[in-house]
Structure 1
Amino acid sequence: MLRALCALSLVAALAACAPAEAPAEPSAAAPTTTPPPPDPAGIAANELGFVPVLMYHQITAYPAGEYDQTPAEFRDELERLYREGYRPVTAAQYIAGELDLPAGTHPVVLTFDDSTGSQLAFTGTGAVAPDSAAGILAEFAARYPDFGPVATFYVNNEPFGDDPRALPWLTAHGHEIGAHTADHANLSSLDADNVQRQLVQNVRAVTATGATVRTMALPLGIYPRDHALATTGSWDGTSYAFGAVMLVGSNPAPAPYGAIDPGGVPRIRSGRGTVPFDSAYWLDWLAEHPEQRYTADGDPTRISFPRALTAELGARWADRANPY
């Protein structure tokens, strides 16, 4: 019995003196790597191709003009854009060349003029009206998060029924707010002082909400007599300078890295084939001529294009050129 107790005591003593077992080290996490973008030639990347800049007015059940669509037509057009690989960017992103898009996709700019209630309104509960343009875009974002449906809204003073919630809501949801003059003025009918007053008062109204104004759209598509005042000017101690001036319905716009005139960016009017050269017409044309449209290479640090187009690249972008 004594021998057994001594043996047990010795085992306990040895256990007490044994070094504690080191805790197991956590296994190292497997490194994560982002796969490189595909070969530009393999996806026919062309970042000098055309970009559709689409122009909308009313989204209404009862279209009254050639720039209007019903909510169903607008939803259908968004579905088509998504299906055909388009991804929205704002007008400011477009003109600055800030196009960070997945490989093989195409930029599209969605623009809305006149800041009407059909574009943005709120229900009695404070929700965005589901059949307004902004409501449909929000609905589409929920269904297709990879589409990123941002838009540029060209607003007049007292926009969207002068609802104070409107401009902050647009900004919070990634949309751009652009200038469209204070009173939707025909700028060609005004002298230089009043042209600048219209634009300064408009910019002041927008920036008072915390937004930044980077682009403008000409009301009625009409320039002031001095075209330069559409881009830069000042009035009553406040200056304005727009990165782009948007025209009314025309054709697809050049790539921002090529022969683009920021003082006159063409837009395509919305429509369903009811008027010549509307959005349906030009989307069909781009689908039939895919080599003509802008196709992203997936790498925002370079500009990829077929070597034969080298002369079309603007000199300021030469350090990012990636011809193939």
Structure 2
Amino acid sequence: MRIPGSLTRVIGIANAVVITVAIIGLSLLPGEPRPAAAPQGAARIQERPASPEAGPSEAPAPSTSPVGQPPGVVATPDFARQVRANEAGLVPVLMYHRILAKRLASIDRTPDQLRKELERLAERGYVPITAREFVTGDIHVPAGKYPVVLTFDDGHPSQFGLGADGQPLPDTAVAVIQDVASRYPGFRPVATFWVNREPFGLRDRAAQESAVRWLVDHGYEVANHTWGHPNLRVLKRKKVSEQIVRVERLLKKLGAPPSQTMALPYGSMPRPKKAARTGSWDGTRYDFAGVFLAGAEPSLSPYAKKFDPGAIQRIQSNGKKGECRKWCSQYWLEWLDKHPGERYVSDGDPERISVPESLRGNIVTKRGLQVIAY
């Protein structure tokens, strides 16, 4: 799966531009801010006949699924062909920062802009999953629909807060997500929030715990964005590990599970690269399933042979003006609409990977999942 050659020339500078824009935007904030491929032949085609009562266009019987995720089906080659499943396709991982009524930087979005983008996603058939679910290949999306990963950096107060009634504050990112999901039943209300030392601007430990627990209890992912949001590239490895471990310890105290994902501040990779994904400090280890960059194109499928869990691409949420005319969300979502054969399309079965026969050689299995090539 390749992005067209005409686009690759701009992508080389895209990450640098996104990082620069992010640094400028963050300067306005008050204060500091796959497993290895299975052996050849291990993945096998799984074919189960549909129920005798089922017609040729009906979905196989649903199977059980975890709480908060849509029910799955048991896919067959015929069914995968009918829904045009392509689980080797591209997945948009959207990157957000502050959600402000009045934007102060180009990377900010207003609640209305966020709402309209989410509505467009829902209308086009996208279903949100968390970054953790994406990188581990635990993708529960109805057949014929497309996964999208909504990610929010820095844990800014505009992303989430609880009111006196115990519900998300109006016009925060979570309130907008919940609102859109209430009006589009197939749109799953989940996202990933990568936080620093003061999640959502909260300094009181009890308030931090209430916020994190609400999110986790409602299916959201709260994970690691380092303690002080430094440029990891200029730090020694021990300092990189310290920045990561201190947030892991905080999240544990607040009731969040150990992080399986992290986002690099400014998208800046440490040296060595593997220090972002695994390491230890002061007796505490971390080992992430995925590390995410700051831009600037759709991600490969987590089942793709060339998928790099240590450097996962994201797309900045924005229109098509200025530096975003060719690599932000409006551009890429339109591009995926125009190139449906390049997009990840779910088979509805979280236990199987369905792809056209021509793409069988592009994928590897995860968690022992079976492969359907049609």
TM-score, scaled relative to structure 1: 0.86
Distance (whole Å) between structure 1 residues aligned to residue 94 and residue 365 of structure 2: 28
Please say if residues 192 and 223 of structure 2, whose CA atoms lie closer than 8 Å, have aligned partners that are also in contact. Answer: yes
Distance in 2, Cα, partners of 1:51 & 1:57: 20
- The answer for the alignment partner of 1:219 in structure 2 is 265
| 1:209 match | 254
Alpha-carbon deviation of 1:125?
4.2
Residues 278, 287 of structure 2: 8 Å contact kept: yes
* Gap regions ≥5 residues in structure 1: 1-32
Question: What does residue 81 of structure 1 align with?
Answer: 121
Structure 2 residue aligned with 1:237 = 283
Deviation at 1:129, TM superposition (A): 1.1
Q: 1:273, 1:280 within 8 Å by CA — same for their partners in 2?
A: yes
Q: Offset at 1:144?
A: 2.4
Q: Which moved more, 1:163-172 or 1:210-219?
A: 163-172
Preserved contact between residue 257 and residue 317 of structure 1 (Cα < 8 Å): no
Aligned-residue offset at 1:126: 4.0
- Match runs of 1:74-223 below 5 Å: 74-162=114-202, 163-164=207-208, 165-212=210-257, 213-223=259-269
Distance 2:352 2:165 in 1: 46
Q: CA deviation at 1:264?
A: 0.3
2:226 is matched by which residue type in structure 1?
Answer: T
Contact 1:55-1:67 at 8 Å conserved across structures: no
Tell me the residue number matched to 2:320: 273
Q: Match of 1:39, SS? A: helix
RMSD between superposed Cα atoms in Å: 1.6
**Residue matched to 1:71:** 111
Q: Which residue of 2 aligns with 1:10?
A: none
Is the 8 Å Cα contact of residues 197 and 235 (structure 1) preserved in structure 2? yes
Tell me which residue corresponds to 1:57.
97
**Equivalents in 2 of 1:199, 1:118: separation in Å?**
23
- For residue 149 of structure 1, report the CA deviation from its aligned partner: 1.9
Match of 1:260 among 307, 323, 328: 307
Counterpart in the other structure of 2:355? 305
Greater Cα radius of gyration, structure 1 or 2: 1
Equivalent pair of 2:353/2:369 in contact (CA under 8 Å): no
- Counterpart of 1:103, as a letter, is A
Residue 66 of structure 1 contacts residue 270 of structure 1 at CA under 8 Å; is this kept in 2? Answer: no
Q: What SS does the corresponding residue of 2:285 show, helix, strand or coil?
A: strand
Spell out, residue by residue over 1:69-128, the C-alpha distance to the aligned partner (whole angstroms, 9 max, x if none): 111110100110001100000001001111121110000000000000110123344432
1:140 Cα deviation from its structure 2 partner: 2.0
1:125-148 superposed Cα distances (whole Å, 9 cap, x missing partner): 443211000111122232223211
Aligned partners of 1:145, 1:210: CA distance in 2, in Å?
29
Contact 2:134 2:302 in 1 (8 A): yes
Question: Could you say which residue in structure 1 is the equivalent of 2:34?
Answer: none
Q: Show CA shifts across 1:223-279 (max 9, x none).
A: 112111100010011000111000002100011111210000000001022223110
Code of the residue aligned with 2:125 in structure 1: it is G
Equivalent position of 2:29 in the other structure: none
Once the two structures are superposed, residues 274-319 of structure 1 have per-residue CA deviations (whole angstroms, 9 ceiling, x without a partner) of 2231100000000000010000112222111110111101155786
Question: How many angstroms apart in 2 are the aligned matches of 1:287 and 1:134?
Answer: 26
Matched ranges for 1:290-301 at <5 A:
290-301=340-351
Structure 2 counterpart of 1:245, which letter?
V
TM-score, normalization by structure 2: 0.75
Deviations 1:184-209 (A, max 9, x none): 11112211111111000011111111
Give aligned pairs, total: 292
Letter in 2 for 1:45: A
Structure 1 residues 201 and 297, CA, compared in 2 at 3 Å: closer, same or farther? same
Checking the alignment, whether the CA contact within 8 Å between 2:92 and 2:298 is kept in structure 1 is yes
**2: CA distance between counterparts of 1:192 and 1:52?**
31
Q: State the AA in 2 paired with 1:203.
A: E
Once residues 292 and 257 of structure 1 are traced to their aligned partners in structure 2, the CA distance between those partners, rounded to angstroms, is: 14
SS in 1 for 2:238: helix
